[in-house]
């Protein structure tokens, strides 16, 4: 039993330490007038005209990176707004679901099955809907982010031609 436990512990430590190395990736694209995504220290950044702009809280870096191109600015602001709404919705929905699961597990026993009341079921459905809507908003934010980058790059290509 001791050998199995120590092997499992050793394997877990190996996986944890090697996965930590994956987050330390650096990729900074070449300098030109296009907006490009890069990675420094495992975090996204935008590179424009040789200037690296961090992603920022809830996509604020994207809003700064696309200044000067109106259509890209609108898409970047939509991306930021979707993140500002979606992230808290997902977080509170998941916390609510965890709280309901804890309550149901605490009320149930091994010998007597727990019958959930309609209030618990309704609350769980609302929490799941909140979390699901938050995830959807976060995905929508990624689409708007891509639109902002593409609009900016289309405008820079039009200036070059």
* DSSP assignment string, the chain: -HHHHHHHHHHHHHHHHHHHHHT---B-PPPSSS-EEEEETTEEEEEETTEEEE--GGGHHHHHHTTT-HHHHHHHHHHHHHHHHHHHHHHHHHHHHHHHHHHHHHH--SSS-----HHHHHHHHHHHHHHHHHHHHHHHHHHHHHHHHHHHHHHHHHHH-
In a domain, 136, yes or no: yes
Whether 2 has a pLDDT exceeding 50, the answer reads no
Which is more confidently placed, 79 or 117? 79
In a domain, 125, yes or no: yes
On whether residue 90 sits in a domain, the answer given is: yes
Segment 6-25, tens digit of pLDDT: 555 656 655 655 555 555 55
pLDDT in tens, 63-83: 888 988 899 999 999 999 999
Please state the domain count of the chain: 1
Question: Residue 7 has what pLDDT?
Answer: 58
Output the pTM of the full model.
0.70
Range of the domain at 117: 58-160
pLDDT for residue 137: 93
Instruction: Say if 24 falls within a structural domain.
Output: no
Residue 8 lies in a domain: no
């Amino acid at each position: 039993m001791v050998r199995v436990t120590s092997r499992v512990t050793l394997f877990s430590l190996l996986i944890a330490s090697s996965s930590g190395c994956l987050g330390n990736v650096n990729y900074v694209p070449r300098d030109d007038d296009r907006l490009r995504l890069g990675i420094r220290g495992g975090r996204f950044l935008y590179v424009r005209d040789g200037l690296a702009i961090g992603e920022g809280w809830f996509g604020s870096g994207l809003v700064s990176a696309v200044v000067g191109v109106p259509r890209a600015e609108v898409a970047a602001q939509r991306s930021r707004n979707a993140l500002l709404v979606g992230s808290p919705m997902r977080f509170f929905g998941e916390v609510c679901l965890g709280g309901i699961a804890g309550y149901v597990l605490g009320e149930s026993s091994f010998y007597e099955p727990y019958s959930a009341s309609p209030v618990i079921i309704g609350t769980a459905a609302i929490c799941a809907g909140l979390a699901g809507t938050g995830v959807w908003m976060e995905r929508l934010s990624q689409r708007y982010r891509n639109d902002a980058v593409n609009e900016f790059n289309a405008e820079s290509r039009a200036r070059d031609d």
